[in-house]
Amino acid sequence: MTNSRLNSWLILVALASWLCLPTSAEAGGRKRVVVLELEGPKAEKFHDDLVKLIKKTHTVIPIDKWNGTAEELDASSPNDKNIKKVAKKLKIDAIVQGKIEKRRDEYIIQLKLRAGKSGAVVGNRIDVKADGPRIDGSASGDLKDELIPAIDSVGSNRAGGGDDEAEEEEDKPAKKKPTKKDDEEVEEEEEKPAKKGFSKKKDEAEEEEEEKPAKKGFSRKKDDENAAALKTKKDKKDDEEEDDAPLPKPKKVAKKDDDESEEEEVKPKKKKVAKRDDGDDEEEGIEASSEDEGESVGGSEALRPGERAVDAVLGLSFNARRMSFTYSSDLGNNPKPYKGVPVAGVLIDATVYPLAIGHKRKGMLKNLGATVMYDRVIKINSKQGDTTLPTSQAHWAVGAVFRYPLGKLTVGASVRYGRQNFTIGSAGGVTSEMPNVNYTILDPGAFLRYELGSKIILNARFGYLAFLGTGAIQKNDQYGAATVTGFEGELGGDYLLTKNIFARASFKYETIGFKFKGTGSQSTMRDTDMEQDVFGARDNYIGGTVTVGYLY
């Protein structure tokens, strides 16, 4: 009898050592990963390519195995708690979710990574662009650079971390562990004496015994195994009728093996999850739709014209002023025009959408922004006869802006308040005949941005100029009161140099028209009569910009 018990224990020790071998091989650092179904066009092809890519460095668990386990555990809804539950059951370290968007001939792969240990999303969303419906070329390289390191950094969801093949071997024999069966049989054996009238005192005494007698009980079960197997269902039913009170005890004990104890602990939670699925989704951001805030938009998607939070440029502007007058054809003392040459200036132009910072807002409020612009000529002089006169030119504006994304096209409107001046000084006792202007402008306008390709964006803006003041030109000693109207337009494009840096070039045109009312001395007193001689003026600014910008 002693030899039999000794042999049993030796076999059990050998089996336990064999089962522990896989965990000792986990130094390789390979993770167990599952790639859930992707959404969008050509999703199956991208899914297969993604699995092949991850398999090079980690173990990929079949999606069918995940779905089957999720159904068993009543955990199909993809919230943190359910994902954690299924991952724990399958010992999965990382879960990849995502969707595919098609833009013309390109595909955008949007992926997020969840930790199996917590079920929560880790890191930022990964956005990768593919030229066709496959993961190859630059798309494959980008995923190796972003996704694979992210998987490497996810913590293990197993006791010892994990090698690939070792973990797969561990999954299969786990269901047939001899120690687990022996535990069940020991518990059944402990139940049977209770049914046959063993006293509670004796049971308690056995529980207080040292480990050695407990091992004897372990082998005694094997001696009685055949007798226990012969017990019929009818006998069991008779036992239940004879003694109803003790029966709940054995039922509870019989459930407490390794796997079934997990299920017993999960069942009460299942009810909570079922009642709170909707709430959990909202709290965890999974499949939850919120008008105000949701998951952050990442990668290149966040920098599109309809999503970016900051669009700022710094560079050079070029402007040439032309001003001319309309007057009587027989006027001898006609006003002289101004013919400027292009001069360079420094330009700063920025638009910020405060509620888009962080790229989490989903409502229209994220499209409200503020804009500021400052443009000043570096150096300019004007000539009257042989005299050079000092000159200055500057323009600034601040205002509000609203945009509305329509796929590749983003349209919007803005209204700005600003000042624009062109001032000519005097030198050597010579004063300019050209009147100075200092415009105060309110300029409502509309704009559009169109994504021509992955790196090129076309820009257009058109504005109406409403003048609140014009400066010295409308004084009575100059040309007097006038009706003033103006328009401006700008066409240009952006070229993305890097993810956040771009180059912008544009062509600009601004025209301001005066219709004098004949109250100023310069419009009526250029000849001997008092009739109006100068009827109007046109002030034009032609130029462009070359700048470098930053996106966020």
User: Mind giving me the DSSP string for 450-493?
Assistant: EE-SSSEEEEEEEEEEEEEE--GGGSTTTT--EEEEEEEEEEEE
Which pTM was predicted? 0.52
392-429 per-residue burial string, b: 16 or more CB within 10 A, e: under 16? ebebbbebebebeeeebebbbebbbebebebbbeeeee
Q: What's the confidence (pLDDT) of residue 13?
A: 56
Give residue 461's pLDDT: 97
- Verify that 475 and 358 share a domain, yes or no: yes
Distances in Å between the Cα of 107 and the Cα atoms of 142, 406, 421, 499 are: 14, 18, 49, 17
Look at phi and psi of residue 390 and say left if phi exceeds 0, alpha if psi is from -120 to 50, else beta.
Answer: beta
Tell me 334's DSSP state. Answer: P
**Residues 399 and 414 grouped into a single domain:** yes
Domains of the chain: total: 3
Same domain as 21, residue 71: yes
Report d(CA 56, CA 60) in Å as an integer: 10
User: In the prediction, which pLDDT does 515 show?
Assistant: 96
pLDDT tens track for 330-382: 887 889 899 999 999 999 999 999 999 988 878 899 999 999 999 999 999 99
Is there a single domain that holds both residue 231 and residue 304?
no
What is the per-residue pLDDT for 16?
54
306 and 233 within one domain? no
Domain boundary among 157, 175, 193: 175
Contact 30, 162 (CB under 8 A): yes
pLDDT given for residue 103 in this prediction? 81
What 3-state DSSP class applies to 547? strand
Q: Is residue 277 part of a domain?
A: no
Range of the domain at 170: 2-175
Cα distances (Å, whole numbers) of residue 353 to 37, 416, 534? 35, 15, 47
Token reading at 34? 């599952």
Q: What is the overall mean pLDDT for the chain?
A: 78
- Give the pLDDT confidence score for residue 404 in this predicted structure: 95
Same domain, yes or no: 116 and 148: yes
DSSP conformational letter for 501: E
Asked if residue 283 is part of any domain, the answer here is: no
Q: 444 with 528, same domain?
A: yes
Are residues 63 and 162 both part of a single domain? yes
Position 410 in a domain: yes
User: Residue 12 has what pLDDT?
Assistant: 60
Q: Does residue 208 share a domain with residue 141?
A: no
Gap between the Cα atoms of 546 and 382, Å rounded: 25
**149, 195: one domain:** no
- Asked if 42 and 63 touch (Cβ cutoff 8 Å), the reply is no
Which whole-number Å values give the CA distances from 343 to 96, 114, 337, 400, 548, in the listed order?
A: 56, 56, 18, 29, 19
Long-range contacts of the stretch 329-335 (C-beta < 8 A, 24+): 331/526, 331/527, 331/533, 331/534, 332/527, 333/526, 333/527, 334/526, 334/534, 335/433, 335/522, 335/526, 335/534
Stretches where the chain sits below pLDDT 50 are: 1-2, 19-28, 161-292, 294
Domain co-membership, 181 together with 201: yes
Question: Are 355 and 377 part of one and the same domain?
Answer: yes
